[in-house]
Amino acid sequence: MSAFKMESCFGADINVGYFDMEEILGILEIKEKVLGSKRVQSLIRTHGRKDRIVGVAMRQVAFDELRLTLDSEFLPYDPYFSDDKLLNSRRERLYDAQERFLTLCISIASGRSVRSLKKLNPDLNTKELRSKHGRSQSLFRYFRQELNEQTREYILSYKARMDKSGESGNEAETSSSSSAIEVEQHTPKLTAVQKASNASKCIPTSFDVETATALKLFQDGYSLLSTQVERFKRGEQLEMLELVKFCRRLIESHTRNNFSLMAIRHIKDSSIYLEQHAMGMAVLGIHFAKAMKLSGAYVETISLGALLFDLGRFRLPMAMVTKTTKMTSGEFDLFRKHIQFGEQILHKCEGVPKAVYQMLSDHHEKIDGSGYPVGKQDQEISVYGKIAAIIDAYDAMTSEQPHKPSMGPIKAYQQMQKESGLAFDKQLLDVFLKSIGSTPVGSCVSLSNGRVGFVLTLNKSFQPSLVRQVYSTKNKAFIESSDIELNKSANLRTDVVIDGEVDPQSLGLQFINHIS
């Protein structure tokens, strides 16, 4: 592969109003190589030059051609550079070429014209891109991942269509054109033996059996997160593979019996709140993603993002984290920086999905624009940020924290309803609230038989099903725990129903003492 000539970009007019891949390739002087590649030619023969899938392949091959240049060293970012002035020195001309080159790469990865990108982000710059080489990060891998994020769903649907059409007789041709397109998966391809093994890990289990597994999972998760915190405090990268493996274990447990993990999520020791908050959000992220009927790769990505997007809080002073009184304005200003701290942690890591960054940067933004750090409104907030905001708020509301007790699942449900369309995206919130039910797992309720219990499971209508009875209102005393089903078949239906919500603290009850 011959080296790409950076000089081709010097002084080039890149500020066009529409995205034209062939025009970009012409500016980069690699048009013939890209169009003549076997991958692109195979797709052109099958679909014609103007088909969208050809454009996607051209973008992939373009980055392959630019790989050597992308992984070379760039000049440091110059905030005072302007292409309006006369560029006399060789260094200035090289900087100009690099600036246009990197901007075009952003355009290729996003599928948007440069003018459109600058309109969406007036502060668009190359500072972060230029610094990646110095941090031993691959700019080629970064752009290929960005491109993959933008085109993944289309490529997968294209491959599915081609595979299906292959069943009707054009197998050789469809196989050839389908294989010409690359899609990077978040998870490695599995052999038949591995798939069978994974399937066996997801056989449904009872609440009590899975709860024992879930308890061990949370212990392992606490140890893993503690280790990761120590790593980034020493300036080391997170062990992303280990974190992904943990998320997969959570997903497997949730698949076997989702109620066990949703119950264990309530176990909160305020002295280690941050670690338990991260794991609780990972569980809620899995639950939410499945409720939205997302594919396995997205469930995994959202659970990973939920596990990581609040890591920046570990860089705040411990006295602030454990403070039991309201933060001062100065303390709150420092607290807001946990988003910046989190970004610094992730930037040191390779292979972090873009969705994870979006969950981190947007999880405190609000639909009405009253959030931070930017004050984005509605459509300006990424969908992943909106998801993160919902699970962050619900877990925080239902957790024991140093400065406040849990408000309980029912009140949290009601509070979030009030903020629908204000703090939270209405459509996404509707899906989330439906999936947890108006009397969620962990709710403390009074029963018509004179007992008080905690909801362990829900039925298919998202109403309480299994309730663990722990207190007698008649005797005003604790009783030996016993479970009662509220939704048996008609001929066996119990007469016991839920009378209402109970504040567990008023009776000295804590759900965490009655889960296992």
Is 298 a domain residue? yes
Tell me: do 423 and 480 sit in the same domain. no
- Which DSSP category does 458 fall into? E
- pLDDT of 489 > 50? The answer is no
Tell me: do 141 and 211 sit in the same domain. no
Residue 510, domain extent: 443-514
Is residue 125 within 8 Å of residue 77, measured between CB atoms?
Answer: yes
Angle in degrees, CA 117, 121, 122, rounded to 5: 105
Domain final position from 101, 130, 158: 158
Chain segment 319-375, per-residue pLDDT in tens: 887 777 888 888 889 999 999 999 999 999 988 999 999 999 999 999 999 999 999
CB atoms within 10 A of CB 427: 11
Tell me: do 393 and 477 sit in the same domain. no
Tell me: do 425 and 461 sit in the same domain. no
Q: Count structural domains, the chain.
A: 3
Is 214 a domain residue? yes
Domain final position from 404, 436, 468: 436
What residues have CB less than 8 Å from 188, skipping those under 6 apart?
none
Tell me: do 256 and 397 sit in the same domain. yes
Calculate mean pLDDT across residues 98-106: 92
Least confident of 34-38, 45-49, 167-171, 230-234: 167-171
Domain final position from 126, 158, 190: 158
Residue 481: is it exposed, middle or buried by C-beta count within 10 angstroms (0-12/13-18/19+)?
A: middle
Q: Which two tokens stand for residue 401?
A: 């924290």
- pLDDT of 460 > 50? The answer is yes
Least confident of 15-19, 241-245, 395-399: 15-19
Tell me: do 485 and 338 sit in the same domain. no
Tell me: do 269 and 336 sit in the same domain. yes
What residues have CB less than 8 Å from 416, skipping those under 6 apart?
390, 393, 394, 397, 424, 429, 433
